[in-house]
A and B are shown apart, each in its own frame.
Chain A
Amino acid sequence: MIHATPLTGYLLVAAVLFAIGLAGALTRRNAILVLIGIELMLNAANLNLVAFWRYGPHPEALTGMMFAVFSIAVAAAEAAVGLGLVIAIYRHASTADLDEINRMKG
């Protein structure tokens, strides 16, 4: 199939996704949902990477896609650790409500 979609389209979608993820991270009370937001942001960045790779001058160099693959791997690791932390905090404070947790205050 011939792609007629310009690069801009993909970039805009990525931007929207990023903004949605950010909004979620900044406004939701539950810590898990903040992490969900963060995953969305990461995915938006991956989309950007792949889009630029495809529409760039040398796609046969695989640079963009490799970058995205590594990003996925790192995101997985980060998600694991982050969720572990959330569980640990939940155990300690018996809540996952971010408005309540202000031990870092001062």
Chain B
Amino acid sequence: MQEALQFVPQTAASGIARTLWLIPAVPIVASGVIALLKQPRRKLASGLAIGSLAVSLVLAFAAFAHVLAGWASGHAVRETVNFTWLQFGTSAVELGWVLDPLAAVMLVMVTLVGLLIFIYSVGYMAHDENYTRFFCFLSLFAGAMLGVVIANSLLLLFMCWEIVGLTSYLLIGFWYQKPAAAAAAKKAFITTRFGDVFFLLGIVWLFAQTGTLLFYSQGAGNLEPLALGMLLQTPAKLGLSAAGAIGLLIFAGAVGKSGQLPLHVWLPDAMEGPTPVSALIHAATMVAAGVYLIARVYPLMAAGVLPGGTTTALTVVTWVGASTAVFAALIAVAQNDIKRILAYSTVSQLGYMMAGLGLGGVAVGMFHLITHAFFKALLFMGAGSVIHGCNEEQDVRHMGGLRRYMPLTFVTYAIGMLALCGFPLVFSGFWSKDAILESAHQWHAGQGPYFLLVFGALLTAFYMTRQVSYVFFGEYRGHGHAHESPRVMTAPLAILAFFAIALGVVGTPVWPWFRSFLLDTHAVFGGLASFKEPGLGVLMLTSSLVVFTGLALGWALYGNRSPRADQPDSLEKAIPPVWRALSNRLYVDEFYGATVIAFYYWWARVADWLDRRVWGGLVAAVTWLFGLWAQLNRFLDTNFVDGTFDKGCEELSSGGGLMARVQSGRAQNYLRLLALGVVILAAILIWSSRG
């Protein structure tokens, strides 16, 4: 059942809200300090990073407590601090941050999971020589991600979004000497950039329509009734209103960042980065930023929704999410790299989150985001522990029987895996996934997403069982000696395992605290009576059955007898052509290569031809003309100017020579001339006196 977000009036900014900016600022400053460190000071770098994030964690908890107190006392908290950044003419660009339940839960999740992964990285990256650079980038990422969470302005959100993308690029390509890593980083950046172009278009359109980019601003913000109403009235193409169109453009940005179809291609390749990076960025936080963005602008996407109905924007979100969920799960079935399986699993789960947003609203989507963050981070870190223990081996066909060698890792990994599959009742994943399935079942616009999501759940259980059998059961097929990881790596695993179970408590129908916290309603502790809701019991049974089927199927095919690398996979033996397609990731990359990239290269060739032939030709023509002109000038100069000038000089010279002959040097001549002069003078005088 969709629930519209109640409009919560803004309250005056408290002290905590005013200092909220410290939460992202401290890690960013720490990152800057680490960057400026002269020699690599490993302890200092990791200490700064972990310390700064711990400070942010404390502040996040304080903010959460504040919001919780406000919710408990019945005064919902939505406090904003806005300020003008640029002023041009009469309009201004404003930035600001907001503290409300949505931001509070996300802050706590990001800082907590982030801190655990930071501590884990100390152990994982201990042998790496670029240790300090790693923590510098990690810190920057953490700061930027927290900036995305608290942003009250779409512009500030976008700026932090881009920094998050940048750090993702830097961290994926951390081992830049590996060509595969560098290529993966580039792919990630460009693919997300593609989505960001539409995001930016949406921002610009919104600014043009409403004149502000703030979400909440004392009634004048974009997510407040006044602006929403105005946007609803404005029509756009394809039968959408401006609200819906802008919402879809913003969703395009989320599609890139969260790896939805068709921009999911970068996420599996991003596994080239170190495992903590995969855990933090590509499981828990950055990819969740897209989901968080849609949750943030949900009022825009849901604008004009009638009770029991849905908007076009939300329908698009739902279908994209549902199809992604199934598509990625299918591909995950046929992968052999431990991290790649988890990567496709992440894509699939992100699809679930998007579908949850579209089907059930903010609370449903966000709940799955929070639970997924914990158990996916757990799974990735467990995978990292496995890789570390198998001496950097990543192919599951070279692992096996590790439950004997790495018991702690095995237990925590099993907890995470069961949470992901949605094992009934005990694990948080069950409750969050069930909430989505419930919303899908009750969706008025059709049952298509429901069936897709159920199929996806089946596949999830199947491929996770496959992976676990390959890795932890059977005999060890790898080289070298497998060993457990150090305490600094296994301790965070334990903590996350705890949360993977415990978080389920806040989202059960018995006590839907999470939903009521986000939607500012009262959380009623309903007891077992709440299960009597019509259809709920059937739903829970169905999803449990699906999960068990998947687990059984996986165990049947793989169980204790996982094959070696040179032998074909069990499923491959059964349906070879399907297997080939799935293991080639359904040829999406090849499709892009043949179309978009081929077009791009063709266009580059055209531009090159234009540049060299047309513009170059023009330049050459002008140069030739100039050369011609210069030659003409030289001709004129040598023949006419020089001729006249030289001739003139010669004449002058000979004239001078002639005149010099008067100076004979003989005194008598001078005397004669004198006398002659006298005669002439006298003659003149006489003639003038006579006249």
Contact = CB atoms under 8 A, between A and B. Distances in A.
Are any A and B Cβ atoms less than 8 Å apart in their complex?
A: yes
Interface stretch (A8-16, A51-59, A68-76, A94-102): A94-102
B665 A98 contact: no
Nearest to A102: B665
Interface in A16-49: 22, 25-26, 34
B675 A98 contact: no
B660 A106 contact: yes
Contacts of A92: none
B671 interface: yes
Contacts of B667: 34, 98, 101, 104
B688 interface: no
Contacts of B672: 26
Contact of B668 (A26, A103, A106): A26
Contact of A105 (B664, B668, B671, B675): B664
Interface in B633-691: 660, 663-668, 671-672, 675
A103 B665 CA distance: 6
A8 B665 CA distance: 39
Contacts of B675: 22, 26
A26 B671 contact: yes
Give chain A's interface secondary structure class: loop
A98 B668 contact: yes
Nearest to A101: B666
Contacts of A106: 660, 663, 665
Contacts of A101: 665-667
B437 to A, nearest CB: 121
B666 A99 contact: yes
Nearest to B672: A26
A101 B666 CA distance: 6
Given A22-B675, A26-B675, A106-B660, A34 B665 contact: no
Interface string A81-101: 000000000000000001101
A22 B668 CA distance: 11
A47 B685 CA distance: 24
Contacts of A102: 664-666
Contacts of A99: 666, 668
B414 to A, nearest CB: 120
A34 B671 CA distance: 10
A101 B663 CA distance: 13
Contact of A34 (B663, B664, B668): B668
Nearest to B660: A106
A34 B664 CA distance: 18
B508 to A, nearest CB: 126
Query: What 10 A-B pairs are tightest by C-beta distance, nearest first?
Result: A105-B665, A102-B665, A104-B665, A98-B668, A102-B666, A26-B672, A106-B663, A103-B665, A105-B664, A102-B664
Interface of A: 22, 25-26, 34, 98-99, 101-106
Given A26-B668, A34-B671, A101-B667, 14 more contacts: A22-B675, A26-B671, A26-B672, A98-B666, A98-B668, A99-B666, A102-B665, A103-B665, A104-B663, A104-B666, A104-B667, A106-B660, A106-B663, A106-B665
14 contacts: A22-B675, A25-B668, A25-B671, A26-B668, A26-B671, A26-B672, A98-B668, A101-B665, A102-B664, A102-B665, A102-B666, A104-B665, A104-B667, A105-B664
